[in-house]
Structures are given as C-alpha cells and as structure tokens.
C-alpha cells in the first residue's frame, strides 16, 4: 500500500533553536523527508534561527551534516539534498535581546502560512512569544509550535498559557506531544471509531485492565542535571502517557475535528481519580559494579541525595460510567531491559467455557505497539491445528504497519514530520489544548506534592531489569501481571 502525499500550502517555517539537538536530530531531517516525499510545494521555505552567528552557507553545511547523520542512507539523494538546502536560510537572533529581529522580519513573506517552532529551552517560551509580538512578526496566518515541557506544575503551565494567550489566539498555538504524531496512536482512533468490532466491548464490562508501558533502555546520560529537576512523572506521565490513556478512554467524538477530539480527552483527564500512595511505585536505577552501559542514576544526575524517580508505575482509575472497575496501569522508566512503548488492553474471560480442556486458554489482548515496530496485534483463541480433540491455543492476528503500509516501513513518517505538516495545514487535532495541559497538571500536582511531603525515596532497581520489585507487587496483589518488557 503506497501512502498518498497531499502537498501543503506554501509556508515560511522558522525553527528557533535551529542549531540545537532536537532541530538537528528530528526537525530538520523530518522536513527533508517531507521534501523528498513531495509534500512541500516549491515555495516552501525554512529559516533557521538561533543565537550563533552563522552565515547561511555555514548553517546549510550544518543541516547537510545533520541529514547525513539522521536520514536513512536509502533516502540520501544528493540532488534532493541540494534542492532541500536551497529552501533553507538562517538568521541569528537572541530571544532575550534585540539582535536579529529586524532581519528575521525582512526574511519572511507576508502572504504565506507562517510558523515559528519554539525549539529553545522551555524557560524562553514566554519571552519568545512576547518578542514575536513586539517585533510585529505575528500575522493572522501565524502559528507557534511549543515544545515540551509545558510548565512543571499547574501554576507555571497557567502562567505560560496566559503569556501565550496575550499574543496568540488558541487556534494559533500548537503544543506538541510527539507521541500523538505516531502512526499507531492515530490508528488507535481508527481502530476504535472506524470499526464496529471493538466499541461495544470497550468498557469495564468487557475490559479487565489496560497497561501502558513506555520503557527506555538508556539512562538520563548527559541530561542528568536537567532530568533530576523533573523525574518520570513530570517528564512522561503528565503528558505522553496521559495522552495515550485519553485516546483509549475517551468517548467517541461527534466528529474527527480538533475541538471535538480534545473536548473528549479533557473529560477523561477530569475524570481521573487521585492516586493513593499504595498505588504508586517510584524507582531509581542502580548499576552494579562493574556497570555495563553506564553508572547509576545518582551518579548520572550528579546528585547523590536525589529523590527524583527515573521509574514510576501507577494504578489509575477513570471515574465514569464506562470505566469504573477497569484499572489503567501506567509504567515508564529509564535503563530498563529494552526500549519499548505499548498499550495492552486485556479483555475479560468469556462468561462460560464450553470446552473440557481449557488449559491453553488465555485472555484476548489487543496490543498497540508504538515502538519499535509500530503495529497492532490482537491475541485470539483458536483450535490447535490437527487431530486429537479440541485443544485451544492463542495466536496473534498481526498488523505490522511496516509490512502493511510500506516495503520496509521507512515510508511511515516520523512523528515530528507528520505533526509539522499538520501545523502548516492548520490542523490541531493531534496537539494539546491549553485546558487539557492544565487539567493534566491539576491531576499530577497533588500526587507529587504528597510524596514530597512524605519524603518518599524511590526504590532502587537494577539497570537493565524490568523495574523495582514493588512495581511487580502492584500488579500481583490484583492478581495480574505486567507484560514482559522486550523489543
Ligand atoms: P539545545 O540546548 O540542544 O538547543 C537549544 C537551541 O536554542 C540552540 O540552537 C541555541 O542556539 C538556541 N538558543 C539558546 N538560547 C537562545 C537565545 N537566547 N536566543 C536564541 N536562541 C537561543 O536544546 P534541544 O535539546 O534542542 O531542545 C530544544 C527544546 O526541545 C527544549 O524545549 C526541549 O525541552 C525540547 N525537547 C527536546 C528534545 C530532544 O530530544 N532534544 C525532546 C523533547 C523536547
């Protein structure tokens, strides 16, 4: 199946923080792939902006290096790279000062879609919005793309929302959560709302529980000092994992329209119950000596007294008619056994077994895999083939997007490139609205405040393991078990 590419309107995209890690590793390579796919009209232009005093030629050389490092070799076509680099300009600006804004204004066209991608430190987001306004860069056709983290608690998120709202309308603000840009995540909505099969079963009567896992094999590495101020709850649960939970738990929106979808997600966030202490397990990785692959968390964080969690597991309840009685178990952590992200929906037992030998019986599980190998897999029971009576066996109905949609999966756009094209198209469905972000913090804040007030210490877990012992117990005590963490 070859995906159709519909070109977007001409645009000026300004990547602010264009010399930084995110721009070089994700944004610019992603834009090249969209160029290669034919999604950019000839008039589309990309402007890098950052503090470094670079010539346009030097910035283009930097982008060429970024493409060489971060684009699949099969997609590195010299003529296309040259054509892509021709779209690119550079302006040196200082978000905290006056330098460069006049040159930036002069470089932009008044009559095309204009987008500013805020790929600078989160402490600069508010100031940057003010600068754009002050220098007359915010036209009615302007959108801003705001990176994560969006605040570190409800108060800071509200303050940032207020600053952005002073200069931009909500329909111009694109708060990015790259998890929502993944093919599988959108497919979750297609599976739920474009098929009749699942929706009648999609409730506490038929679903036993839901597991959401985002496991990383790497530690906090060079970002230790930054991460230590945040932790897994703020860094992963408040945003990415809650967004995934919302897509599973939300009611069908009346239409696939940005506000209709986001209204339904917001209702889920508002229905989240406070999480009591016994339903939370926090952990910190430790590396036994000699440590293959690195040191322990305290060393990586540069803070021997740190109480920040590099792992968290929680049992979450959504208090509404559909979900009361079905727990959502969330877990995420660093330095775990493998890098994997998935949602697993475990259905209940049939009400009565007609088979004498039900030893092979297992629950139906719908697994939505975000990485690696994006795809959906439904585990169903069948008869074991061959003579010898009716023996049951579970088999996966596998829909791997890589094989279903492209020769080798390389045609599946990366989350960032898909989301940037949505920005240009003016489609906010996959971006978080201000009230959603605030509601998510309103749920998160008291959980964090409670463990801080108790002075809880995270439980150590071995680097390369599946997480702390207590996290296993969180499931065992409910007669359930986590799925194995593996690639
Ligand atoms: P970085 O430190 O590598 O890059 C920051 C960029 O901002 C550089 O280009 C720098 O020149 C520019 N900059 C700094 N101060 C400036 C100023 N006063 N005026 C103009 N430009 C200035 O950071 P990063 O890792 O690329 O992250 C960028 C944003 O993306 C951050 O908000 C981060 O939280 C978010 N983010 C990054 C990643 C990632 O993988 N790197 C992932 C998720 C979110």
Give residue-wise pLDDT tens across range 310-331: 999 999 999 999 999 999 999 9
Residue 204 in this model has a pLDDT that exceeds 90: yes
Tell me the angle at which helices 78-86 and 56-70 cross, rounded to the nearest 10 degrees: 140
Return the best residue to mutate from 59, 66, 121 for the ligand 1 pocket (most ligand atoms within 8 A of CB). 121
* Ligand 1 atom closest to Cα of residue 93: 20
Distance separating alpha carbons of residues 468 and 297, to the nearest angstrom: 14
Q: Does 365 fall in a domain?
A: yes
Do 345 and 403 belong together in one domain? yes
**What's residue 432's pLDDT?**
97
Do 135 and 188 belong together in one domain? no
Do 25 and 70 belong together in one domain? yes
95 is in an annotated binding site: yes
Do 226 and 353 belong together in one domain? yes
**pTM of structure:** 0.95
CATH of the domain at 380: 3.30.360.10
Instruction: Provide the number of structural domains found in the chain.
Output: 2
Q: Does 43 fall in a domain?
A: yes
Q: How far apart are the first and last CA of the chain?
A: 25
Smallest CA separation from ligand 1 atom 2, residue? 20
255 is catalytic: no
26 is in an annotated binding site: no
Q: Does 400 fall in a domain?
A: yes
Do 261 and 303 belong together in one domain? yes
Report the percent of the chain where pLDDT is more than 90: 84
Confidence band (pLDDT; 50, 70, 90) for 410?
Answer: low
pLDDT higher for 410 or 438?
Answer: 438
Query: What is the tens place of the pLDDT at every residue in 13-31?
Result: 999 999 999 999 999 999 9
Do 60 and 188 belong together in one domain? no
398 in Cβ contact with 375 (< 8 Å): yes
Q: Does 154 fall in a domain?
A: no
Smallest CA separation from ligand 1 atom 40, residue? 22
Q: Does 245 fall in a domain?
A: yes
Do 352 and 471 belong together in one domain? yes
Quick check: CB of 89 below 6 Å from ligand 1?
A: no
Do 452 and 403 belong together in one domain? yes
Q: Does 387 fall in a domain?
A: yes
Do 137 and 278 belong together in one domain? no
Do 102 and 212 belong together in one domain? no
* Ligand 1 atom closest to Cα of residue 24: 26
Q: Does 166 fall in a domain?
A: no
- The CA 99 to ligand 1 mean position distance, Å, reads 18
Do 197 and 346 belong together in one domain? yes
Query: What is the tens place of the pLDDT at every residue in 347-394?
Result: 999 988 888 877 878 899 999 999 888 889 999 998 888 887 888 889
CATH of the domain at 75: 3.40.50.720
80 is in an annotated binding site: no
Which residues lie closer than 8 Å to 358 by C-beta, 6 or more apart? Answer: 392
- The CA 166 to ligand 1 mean position distance, Å, reads 23
Do 221 and 83 belong together in one domain? no
**Residue 25 lies in domain:** 11-147
* Ligand 1 atom closest to Cα of residue 97: 18
Distance separating alpha carbons of residues 284 and 296, to the nearest angstrom: 8
Q: Does 388 fall in a domain?
A: yes
């Amino acid at each position: 199946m070859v995906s159709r590419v519909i070109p977007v309107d001409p645009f000026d995209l300004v990547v602010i923080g264009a010399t930084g890690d995110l721009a070089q590793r994700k944004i610019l390579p992603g834009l090249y792939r969209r160029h290669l796919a034919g999604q950019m009209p000839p008039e589309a232009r990309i402007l890098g902006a950052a503090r470094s005093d670079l010539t346009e030629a030097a910035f283009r050389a930097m982008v060429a290096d970024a493409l060489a490092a971060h684009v699949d070799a099969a997609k590195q076509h010299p003529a296309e790279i040259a054509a892509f680099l021709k779209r690119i300009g550079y302006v040196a600006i200082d978000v905290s000062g006056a330098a460069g804004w006049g040159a930036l204004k002069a470089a932009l066209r008044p009559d095309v879609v204009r987008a500013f991608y805020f790929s600078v430190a989160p402490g600069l987001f508010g100031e940057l919005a003010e600068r754009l306004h002050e220098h007359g860069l915010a036209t009615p056709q302007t959108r801003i793309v705001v990176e994560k983290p969006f605040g570190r608690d409800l108060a800071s998120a509200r303050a940032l929302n207020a600053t952005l709202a002073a200069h931009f309308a909500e329909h111009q603000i694109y708060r990015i959560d790259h998890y929502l840009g993944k093919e599988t995540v959108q497919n979750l909505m297609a599976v739920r709302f474009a098929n009749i099969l699942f929706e009648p079963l999609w409730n506490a009567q038929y679903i036993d529980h839901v597991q959401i896992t985002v496991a990383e094999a790497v530690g906090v590495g060079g970002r230790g000092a930054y991460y230590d101020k945040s932790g897994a709850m703020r860094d992963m649960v408040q945003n990415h994992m809650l967004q995934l939970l919302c897509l599973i738990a939300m009611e069908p929106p009346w239409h696939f329209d940005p506000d209709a979808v986001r209204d339904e997600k917001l209702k889920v966030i508002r229905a989240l119950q406070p999480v009591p202490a016994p339903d939370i397990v926090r952990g910190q990785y430790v590396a036994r000596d000699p440590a293959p692959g690195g040191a322990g968390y305290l060393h990586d964080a540069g803070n021997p007294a740190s109480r920040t969690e590099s792992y968290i597991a929680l049992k979450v309840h959504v208090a509404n008619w559909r979900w009361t009685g079905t727990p959502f178990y969330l877990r995420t952590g660093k330095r775990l056994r493998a890098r994997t992200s998935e949602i697993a929906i475990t259905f209940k037992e049939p009400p009565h077994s007609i088979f004498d030998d039900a030893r092979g019986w297992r629950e139906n599980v719908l697994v939505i895999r975000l990485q690696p190998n994006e795809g959906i897999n439904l585990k169903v029971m069948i008869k074991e083939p061959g003579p010898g009576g009716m023996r049951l066996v579970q088999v996966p109905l596998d829909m791997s997007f890589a094989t279903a949609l492209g020769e080798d999966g390389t045609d599946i756009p990366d989350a960032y490139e898909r989301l940037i094209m949505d920005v240009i198209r003016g489609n906010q469905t996959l971006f978080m609205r201000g009230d959603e972000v605030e509601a998510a913090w309103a749920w998160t804040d008291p959980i964090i405040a409670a463990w801080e007030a108790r002075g809880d210490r995270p439980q150590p877990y071995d680097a390369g393991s599946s997480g702390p012992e207590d996290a296993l117990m969180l499931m065992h005590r409910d007669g359930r078990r986590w799925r194995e963490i593996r690639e």
